[in-house]
Amino acid sequence: MLDTRRLEEMIYGGFICGGCLLGVHLAFGKAAKGKGGRIEKMFVEFQRKAFHMIGGCIICSCYHWGIKHKFIRSAFSPETDSTAMDGGAAFLAISFVCWMVEASRLTIPAVQSWYLKTFKGLIRQKEHSKAAGIAYFLPGALAAMMAAPSHFAILGILFLSVGDAAASIGTAGGYIPVGTSSRKVEGSIGCFLVCTGLAIYAGLSTQVALIASGFVTFGEVLAEIIGLDDNFVIPMLGVLGVRIALFPQLGQMAAVMCVGLGIGVALAAIVGSTTSKDK
């Protein structure tokens, strides 16, 4: 269903967009820093999201061309008789390496000092005392690979690589807040439009693209509000959004949500009454 050639073009395009953002930051970043405000925030995001795009496209490249040239096999439905390495195992190993680096820098002051000095332009303030986004990016990509065929998994990773970049840049320059969160409406609109464009260009119908992008955008906003890392949830939301759009089941999902809400309220009532009796 997805056009392989266009997926490859999107990966190339992600590398080019990331390189352009990095070039703009290098050329005008110092001047923008002196102006402060939204301009400075946007240029900071240019640097971060340049590497975000490039890193995501590296993951897509390794997975797509690794399968194409039979270095690895699909993590979704691995062939038991294949001698190639399971793609899920390969990316899990890379995730372990990333987690060990993060664990080292969070527990060893010397490593933390080196890490913050080396990556100071990419690390957010909140990540000084917690795992950085890459620690969630890789498992999120792995989850997408295991949840869907390779083409759909790559599209989900591109939603994160490119769509989330649009969300962050739009939020940095935006004005309309989403409730009391740091997310801005302009960022969510940017994410939705970019993801929709990616999905349509990859070969999905407009209806499927709109539904999948809606799931990604809505889920990203909720994740931001409740404190989940969007690097982990967006790839999964992307592939599941496409699956739900291809096989519509919104009514059943609404029913399950109502049942879940009812169970949650009932449990809360039971816990509340038990706590009152204890007192």
pLDDT band, very low/low/confident/very high, at 45 (cuts 50, 70, 90): confident
More confident of the two residues 81 and 95: 95
CA distance 196 to 209: 5
Work out the average pLDDT over 20-35. 86
Work out the average pLDDT over 93-97. 95
* Res. 127: pLDDT tops 90: no
Mean pLDDT of the chain: 89
Closest Cα partner for 1 from 202, 270, 168?
Answer: 202
* Res. 226: pLDDT tops 90: no
The predicted structure's pLDDT at residue 14? 95
Half-sphere exposure (Cβ direction) of 272: Cα atoms closer than 13 Å? 6
Domain ranges of the chain: 4-248
Q: How far is CA 210 from CA 8, 200, 223, 233, in A?
A: 22, 9, 20, 18
Work out the average pLDDT over 21-48. 85
Closest Cα partner for 199 from 253, 140, 151?
Answer: 151
Q: Which helix (H) or strand (E) holds 24?
A: helix 4-35
* Res. 167: pLDDT tops 60: yes
pTM over cut 0.85: yes
Range in 81-85, 184-188, 271-275 with the lowest mean pLDDT = 81-85
Q: Are the C-beta atoms of 144 and 186 separated by less than 8 Å? A: no
